[in-house]
């Protein structure tokens, strides 16, 4: 390891942030404490809802995002990761504020697709309505040759959005069935893999049997953790 401290700007939501720290630890090749990555988690659930922020009159999350970035930098962090997909809508402004490396979660997901042996083709994409509507993933992935297919509006309203809310409410097990249903529908429509572009969705998907899924899924929590490990290794 390079010896740099990793900053984790979290709280969006708190469970996803805590799970990121767990996965960062489990994915790091280590045989003793000192082999692990020094990391500081800034978990601030007071950050305004990212979806509501883009609606008329919505509260701006940037002041608290900036406060978190500045706090992590003051603590000596040499890079910052954000285990929240929708927050990356503000990525350019946050990266400018940070002035230090900030691995992008979509780039991490693309690297994960390559790691599991997928070449540019048709993939499914699940996420919050805001993430899908702002084309956060589509723009970056389509530039690399991927064709993204998304859940229908009805699936978003009936299955995906309520499942994300269930995870945020700590009712993780109840989120599995609706999320798996949508992932398998995307597979039936030709997706060779499904990117779980919301850090609550992997928690719901992992609450049930993986063998019921028709195609591999890309867990963006794991993808971002691997990107952080790559940074720490220089």
Model confidence pLDDT, tens digit, residues 24-67: 999 999 999 999 999 999 999 999 999 899 889 999 999 999 99
Contact 194, 187 (CB under 8 A): yes
Q: From the CB of residue 189, how many other CB atoms can be counted at a distance below 10 Å?
A: 13
Instruction: Check whether residue 157 and residue 100 sit in a common domain.
Output: no
Instruction: Check whether residue 28 and residue 65 sit in a common domain.
Output: yes
Query: In total, how many domains does the chain have?
Result: 2
Buried b (16+ CB within 10 A) or exposed e, 42-67: bbbeebbbbbebeeeeeeebbebbee
pLDDT at 1 over 90: no
Instruction: Check whether residue 122 and residue 186 sit in a common domain.
Output: yes
Cα–Cα distance measured from residue 148 to residue 88, given in angstroms and rounded to the nearest whole number: 18
Instruction: Check whether residue 212 and residue 111 sit in a common domain.
Output: yes
Burial of residue 78 (number of CB atoms within 10 Å: 0-12, 13-18, 19+): middle
In the DSSP assignment, the letter for residue 192 is S
In the numeric block, the tokens 């978003």 are attached to 156
Q: Which CATH number characterizes residue 153's domain?
A: 3.40.50.1860
pLDDT of residue 58: 93
Instruction: Check whether residue 112 and residue 211 sit in a common domain.
Output: yes
Cα–Cα distance measured from residue 98 to residue 225, given in angstroms and rounded to the nearest whole number: 19
Instruction: Check whether residue 31 and residue 133 sit in a common domain.
Output: no
Instruction: Check whether residue 138 and residue 158 sit in a common domain.
Output: yes
Nearest to 109 by CA among 118, 99, 101: 118
Instruction: Check whether residue 96 and residue 136 sit in a common domain.
Output: no
Instruction: Check whether residue 52 and residue 66 sit in a common domain.
Output: yes
pLDDT of residue 2: 56
Which domain does 47 fall in, by range?
Answer: 5-104+222-232
Instruction: Check whether residue 114 and residue 212 sit in a common domain.
Output: yes
Token pair in block for residue 73: 């930098």
| Global pTM value | 0.94
What mean pLDDT value characterizes the chain? 96
Cα–Cα distance measured from residue 215 to residue 200, given in angstroms and rounded to the nearest whole number: 19
Instruction: Check whether residue 55 and residue 141 sit in a common domain.
Output: no
Model confidence pLDDT, tens digit, residues 42-54: 999 999 999 899 8
Could you tell me where the DSSP H helices lie in the chain? 14-27, 50-53, 62-74, 91-98, 105-115, 129-133, 136-142, 153-155, 161-168, 176-188, 201-205, 220-232
Model confidence pLDDT, tens digit, residues 95-142: 999 999 999 999 999 999 999 999 999 999 999 999 999 999 999 999
């Amino acid at each position: 390891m390079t010896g740099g401290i990793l900053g984790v700007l979290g709280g969006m939501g708190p469970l996803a942030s805590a799970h990121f720290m767990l996965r960062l630890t489990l994915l790091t090749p280590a045989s003793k404490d000192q082999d692990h990555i020094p990391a500081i988690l800034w978990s601030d659930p007071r950050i305004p809802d990212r979806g509501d922020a883009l609606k008329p009159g919505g509260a701006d999350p940037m002041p608290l995002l900036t406060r978190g970035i500045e706090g992590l930098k003051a603590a000596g962090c040499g890079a910052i990761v954000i285990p929240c997909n929708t927050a990356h809508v503000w990525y350019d402004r946050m990266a400018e504020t940070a002035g230090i490396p900030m691995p992008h979660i979509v780039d991490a997901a693309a690297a994960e697709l390559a790691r599991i042996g997928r070449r540019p083709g048709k993939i499914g994409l699940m996420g919050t309505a805001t993430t899908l509507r702002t084309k956060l993933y589509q723009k970056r992935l389509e530039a690399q040759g991927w064709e993204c297919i998304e859940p229908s509006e009805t699936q978003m309203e009936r299955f995906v959005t309520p499942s994300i809310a269930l995870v945020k409410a700590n009712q993780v097990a109840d989120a599995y069935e609706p999320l798996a249903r949508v992932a398998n529908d995307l597979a039936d429509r030709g997706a060779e893999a499904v990117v779980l572009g919301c850090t609550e969705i992997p928690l719901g998907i992992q609450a049930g049997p993986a063998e019921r899924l028709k195609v591999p899924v890309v867990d963006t929590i794991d993808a971002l953790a691997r990107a952080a490990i790559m940074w720490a290794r220089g």
